[in-house]
Amino acid sequence: KLEKVTLPGRVVAIGNSAFAGDASLKKVIWEDGNYDQEIGSNAFAKTALVEFTFPKRLKTMDYRAFFACKNLKSIQTNTMITSIGESAFEGCIKLTGALELPSTVTYINSNAFKNTGFSKISIADGYDTLTIGYEAFGKCLNLLEVTLPGRTKTLSESVFKASANLEALHIENIQEGRTFKNLPSGYMEGYTFEGWLTSDGDAVTTTSEMVSKGVSTVYPQWIAETYDVYFYTNGGSISQTS
């Protein structure tokens, strides 16, 4: 029947599966400390968590750290986080609104925010390169806008898979003359992804230049799939009625 936990800042790590499956735990406060802190794999997976206060020196969270915490409504991201593990927040469907990730993030692993309710996601620019894994923002049905920093080095082709309502991808660019090289593809049932368009409606190619030292915005283009349906009478007949 444990409902609330307060951890002092001198706790530097929460071990694997430490609170996993706790059906009563609703609130965790982890106070700021003087040393780097981390959360292990499955540490809070499938708990009843509603609120979690992260310490500012939190650096890493591992595989499925908050997996399927379906009641989790808010997370604080004013931390020194560098790595967000695979499926860390997958299935946290009540995480809504805007998610702002700090400039310290270098890895957002596969499925990290899959099937969450965020409408906007932005990642601050910085000096270290950023890698984003497959379906990291997949199946986010409320997701409308994403802002990526110019330091993005690796972006999985399926990063937005089944995020059917994505309207715009903003890319902050810090190098003059930089081009669009590896934009992700879109996946949506019943539609074919035809590529990205500029605000002028021009197709974006690998040689299209971004806005110099500004923000470039591209828009996904979807074409509805159509099918031909044939009916055979198998020896019978078809008559037209008015």
φ/ψ region of 26 (left if φ > 0, alpha if ψ in -120 to 50, else beta) reads alpha
Q: Quote the pTM value.
A: 0.87
Q: What is the pLDDT, as a whole number, of residue 167?
A: 92
Q: What 3-state class would DSSP assign to 58?
A: strand
Q: Which amino acid is at 92?
A: C
What is the SS3 assignment for 123?
strand
pLDDT in tens, the chain (242 residues): 899 999 999 999 999 999 999 999 999 999 999 999 999 999 999 999 999 999 999 999 999 999 999 999 988 777 899 999 999 999 999 999 999 999 999 999 999 999 999 999 999 998 899 999 999 999 999 999 999 998 888 888 889 998 988 999 998 876 666 777 678 877 777 888 888 898 888 888 878 877 767 788 999 888 888 888 887 777 777 676 65
Q: In this structure, are residues 102 and 125 in contact, taking their beta carbons and an 8 Å threshold? A: no
| 90, 69 contact by CB (below 8 A) | no
Using the structure block, give the residue that is written with the tokens 């715009």. 168
Give the list of residues 6+ apart from residue 44 with CB closer than 8 angstroms, or none: 18, 19, 20, 22, 25, 28, 52, 65, 66, 69
- Dig out the tokens for 73 from the structure: 């409504």
Contacts of 192 (CB under 8 A, 6+ apart): 222, 223, 224, 225
Are 144 and 122 within 8 A, CB to CB?
no
The pLDDT of residue 175 is: 65
Of 71, 108, 70, 103, nearest in space to 87 by CA: 108
Question: How far is Cα 195 from Cα 185, in angstroms, rounded to an integer?
Answer: 7
Distance (Å, rounded) from C-alpha 12 to C-alpha 14?
Answer: 7
- pLDDT of 241: 63
Q: What are phi and psi of 174, to 5 degrees?
A: -115, 5
Q: Tokens representing 167?
A: 């309207």
